[in-house]
Chain A
Amino acid sequence: MNIVICVKQVPDTETKIKVKDGQVDHTETKYVVNPYDEYAIEEGLRIKERLGEGKISLITMGPQRAKDALKSGLAVGADEAIHLVDEAFEGSDPYATALILCKALEKMDYDIIFCGKQGVDEDHAQVGIALAELLDVPHVSVVTRLEIAEDEKSAVAHREVESGHEVVDTPLPAVITAQKGLNEPRYASIKGIMAVKKKVIPEWNADDVGVDRDKVGLETAKIKFVEVALPTERTAGKVFDEDPAQDAIKVAHLLRDEAKIL
């Protein structure tokens, strides 16, 4: 079974976000593999282990530094990785990203494609679904449990919906987007880390992928950032710690006259 996993490198959620000149300042950002993609990778590894055969290919679109995300995935056990990198790709919105991934995937063999349910940077939660549409295959999003049929031609996916969960039967190939709870991602191993050194990660540019440079990147983005701003800092709360009866009256007044919520 050919398992393709789309991964994204994102800022570590512990990174302190700074804004400079109307943009997020990434000079001190530490990057990690998108946490939802880790579930996707783990599910791929488990399917391969369960079936006793298969090939796991990772694919990412991003600048040079994004290669580290692929290396992390190789260190936990993926078989190969492909890096889609071209200046023209920079600033692509979710649609263009899906288009680039789609073109690349058309050159690959796949029986199932995994994505994280969303990237924890801009949180669009669109690429996986758009990719499925462009490839003209079904998708199941926000999946928390997955069973591959014995003939490997279909899968049953459990997905989270408001106040419950749906069970979806889908033919394969399909795109599955991984939600927390799908599995518990394993650690890399030292052997895995050392083996990465010997692996070659091919780079595919726009020509290799076969995508028109004018149709991707910042210029064509259907989504434009109008403004980037930090949330306003929370001001300190008011403390009432004198006489409880008097305090209650004061608070009631303030809630009515100042906060206007009574």
Chain B
Amino acid sequence: MFNLSVSDEQKALRDLARRFTQTEIVPIAAEADRMEEYPWELVEKAHAIGLTNIIVPEEYGGGGLGYFEDCLVAEEIAAGCAGIYSSFAASTLGLTPLNVAATPEQMERFMKPFCAEPALAAFCLTEPGAGSDIASVRTRARRDGDFYVLNGTKRFVTNGGVAELYTVTATVDPSLRHRGLVLLVVPSHLPGVSVGKKEDKMGQRAASTREVIFEDVWVPLENRLGDDREGFRLVMETLDKIRAEVAAAAVGVARAAMEAAVKYAKEREQFGQPIISLQGIQFMLADMAIKVEAARLLVWQAAWMADQGLRNSYQSAIAKCFAAESAMKITTDAVQIFGGYGYTKEYPVEKYMRDAKLLQIYEGTSEIQRVVISRGLLHEYRAI
């Protein structure tokens, strides 16, 4: 039953995402990067045709599609601009805990109104002192009657300040480490929610990344996802689910860099011939193709597993690690092929290179992915 063909609908979906990217994103990507401005009208346009909230069930106003389709779209959008992609993706990430653990009542209350209008969500996990070590979260959720009183600062929140809905990881008692975590849905209009400094980033500058501060925010108990102290498991499951999508975005960035490099190598003449006829350049391009194709297959495998309801931590970690590192290598080589021109902002490859670096860091660094992979290798690995 092995089959790698995509259906007519999936092809049409990919074509739509590609057309949207080429028409709406590519022309503004350089400017959005330079100005560090998030193009809000893109959210409206994408929402109008259903390119946002793809994985939310149809009954709550989403696309009702799978992680595989989500990955097809992610590759296209990221090929246009990784920063704009990240804003879309951070929204999907923010909604994923609801998809994973919300009750029908919570879906009705949060998801339906959210999906009805153009809007962004955000996932608040990282803190000044907690990144890869999730269990060291210090944001407190003190129980008071039917409320949690939320206090703490979240850092590097993509869509911080522009999101309507935050899903926030907090602890009822830091000494309990991962057993003390809860996951709360916090609408951004609740009193006590504010934003801190905006990060001046190296790449992916179109995405708004900033601190989000919670000061005595009274969050109703019915906004908690899952059971008390179930936060750690939900965060892990959320990250597992979304990891393939980030890997797909890395394939998109890598593909864009590769295509730009091939085009340039055909046009650029040195020693009386286009540089693509030099074997040194050909081999660099061939290495790019090897990585792009291999990474995409890893992405498709991980996404397919997620859609089958199979646990894919091991496969998605391999996909994310390989795709992100491939994107870094490919974009760096693309700059090399462009030579001096590649180092200027006149051509898009320097942006690809800056954008790619973050792919190795966010949503689990390459090192954390290797931790997941080696754990899988030690405890679960079976030869197929």
Contacts and interface: CB of A to CB of B under 8 A. Distances in A.
Interface of A: 68, 71-72, 75, 186-191, 193-194, 196-197
Nearest to A197: B9
B19 A193 contact: no
B8 A191 contact: no
B20 interface: yes
Interface string B32-56: 0000000000000000111100100
Given A190-B54, A190-B63, A75 B49 contact: no
Interface in B85-123: none
A190 B49 contact: yes
B65 interface: yes
Given A187-B49, A188-B49, A193 B20 contact: no
Given A75-B16, A194-B65, 4 more contacts: A190-B49, A190-B51, A193-B9, A196-B8
Contacts of A72: 12
B54 A187 contact: no
B13 interface: yes
B103 to A, nearest CB: 26
B102 to A, nearest CB: 22
Contacts, number: 39
The 9 A-B pairs with the shortest beta carbon distances in the complex, nearest first, are A190-B50, A189-B49, A193-B12, A187-B49, A189-B50, A190-B63, A188-B16, A191-B50, A193-B9
Contacts of A191: 50, 63
Nearest to A186: B49
A68 B12 CA distance: 9
A187 B19 contact: yes
Interface residues of B, number: 15
A68 B16 CA distance: 14
A68 B63 CA distance: 22
B50 A71 contact: no
B59 to A, nearest CB: 13
7 contacts: A68-B8, A187-B19, A188-B12, A190-B50, A190-B54, A196-B9, A196-B12
A71 B7 CA distance: 13
Nearest to A190: B50
Contacts of A197: 8-9
Nearest to A75: B12
Given A190-B63, A190-B65, A71 B12 contact: yes
Nearest to B45: A187
Interface in B53-99: 54, 63-65
A187 B16 contact: yes
* Max chain A C-beta neighbours (<10 A), residue from B8, B19, B65: B8
A194 B9 contact: yes
Contacts of A194: 9, 64-65
Nearest to A187: B49
A11 B190 CA distance: 54
Contacts of A189: 48-50
Nearest to A188: B16
Interface in B8-31: 8-9, 12-13, 16, 19-20
Nearest to B51: A190
| Residue from A186, A191, A193, A194 whose CB has the most chain B CB atoms within 10 Å | A193
Contacts of B9: 193-194, 196-197
B13 A190 contact: yes
Nearest to B19: A187
Nearest to B53: A190
Of A75, A194, A197, chain B has the most CB atoms within 10 Å of the CB of: A194
B9 to A, nearest CB: 6
A49 to B, nearest CB: 14
Nearest to A191: B50
A190 B16 contact: yes
A196 B7 CA distance: 12
A189 B58 CA distance: 14
A194 B65 CA distance: 10
B65 A187 contact: no
Contacts of A193: 9, 12-13, 16
Contacts of A71: 8, 12
Contacts of B49: 186-190
Residue among A71, A75, A190 facing the most chain B CB atoms (10 A cut-off): A190
B10 to A, nearest CB: 9
Contacts of A68: 8
Contacts of A190: 13, 16, 49-51, 54, 63, 65
A16 B280 CA distance: 27
Contacts of B8: 68, 71, 196-197
A75 B13 CA distance: 10
A258 B261 CA distance: 39
A190 B51 CA distance: 7
Nearest to B48: A189
A180 to B, nearest CB: 15
A181 to B, nearest CB: 17
A79 B362 CA distance: 44
Contacts of A186: 49
Could you say which of B8, B12, B50, B64 has the most chain A C-beta atoms within 10 Å of its C-beta? Answer: B12
